[in-house]
Structure 1
Amino acid sequence: MYIKAAVLFSLLASSLAVPAANGDRKVKRGVLSVQDYSEFQVSDGVAGNAFAEVNAKFPIGTDFASVDSEDLAILKAARETAEAAETEEGGFNDAIEAAGGKDTPAGQALQNGKIKNKVLKLQLQVLALQIEAAQGKDTAAKLAEQRTKLAKNVQLDEEAAGQASSSVDFQGTSQP
């Protein structure tokens, strides 16, 4: 009798330890983490490869329908920070002006960094819109507009390939 009870208890305990099936539901855990702008910016180094650099820093894949809502929020927050790094006080526009404009070596390196930052901002926007579209939101018009802007800035970055590129010391994060 004790053996039957022990076997029954053992079977019951092991069945509780087996995870429940999710059926056909896809579960994807977030792959992104909150970072400071200095960690996810792509403006340092040389121009010419900004698009690949952005995709390496934000590796969400292509299964947009299953992207975690936290990852989407991080993408959106990083995009907002990248935009702020371009236009707000202490950002690229101020730094280029302080360097004497785009025609100085320092100004040109900052301009190349600004273009790389635009690729960052626009690619994050495109990814967010693709995710939202895959999850049922109508983003077609905005997506087409952002893809056009992205293509233009990727081309500008590629045209400057090999040239110095500088970032700015901008404070911000990808914290949603």
Structure 2
Amino acid sequence: MRFSTSIILSGLLAIGFAAPVTNRRALAVQAYNDFQVSDGVAGNALAEVQAKFPIPADLASVSAADQKVISDARQVAESAETDGFNPAIAAATGDAKTALTNGKIKNKVLKLQLEVLDLQISQAKGKDETSQIAAEQKKLNTNIATDKKNAGQPSQSVPFSG
């Protein structure tokens, strides 16, 4: 009996697709303006963050390089809040102030989600971060609720280098 090349290739492809997938995709280092989620409308900040920072369910499998990208992005988002959003909101009025405030809340969701992920990854790798995770998750939940409460309202980012 002769096996055709196409049957053999089909079998190899099936085995390849059935093989376990490891965390091969590294997160890319990006400028803040490329990973920020503050533009658009309020209401879906967490999903926007998750789309920008896709992390596997097995947090212990996250590479040290990807964890550093997450940690660095969190620090930049925090700087954007203090050095970008806070002065811009203080100088704005009316609808512009509302849009910037919504953008700041979305930025806080970004910052806090990245902080929680960073802590959860460290915990998955053996470091006890339980109390810090709980504290940051509480802040994150508060900001997610505020973002959802403002759903549909305009949201504005600030130009920020980072």
- The alignment's TM-score, normalised by the length of structure 2, stands at 0.85
> Which protein is richer in helix relative to its size?
2
Match in the other structure for 2:97: 107
**How far apart are 1:114 and its partner, in Å?**
0.1
Partner SS for 1:33: coil
Q: Please give the secondary structure, in 1, of the residue aligned with 2:106.
A: helix
Equivalent residue number for residue 146 of structure 1: 136
Find 2:77's aligned residue among 79, 82, 87.
Answer: 82
8 A Cα contact 1:29 1:68, kept in partner:
no
Question: How is 1:26-105 mapped onto 2 (pairs within 5 angstroms)?
Answer: 28-88=23-83, 91-100=84-93, 104-105=94-95
* RMSD between superposed Cα atoms in Å: 1.2
Check if 1:158 corresponds to 2:158. Answer: no
Q: TM-score by structure 1 length?
A: 0.78
Letter in 2 for 1:99: A
* Consecutive unaligned residues in structure 1, runs of 5 or more: 1-25
5+ residue gaps, structure 2, are 1-20
The percent of aligned pairs where both chains have the same amino acid is 57
CA distance in 2, matches of 1:92, 1:143: 25
CA contact (8 A) 1:38 1:170 kept: yes
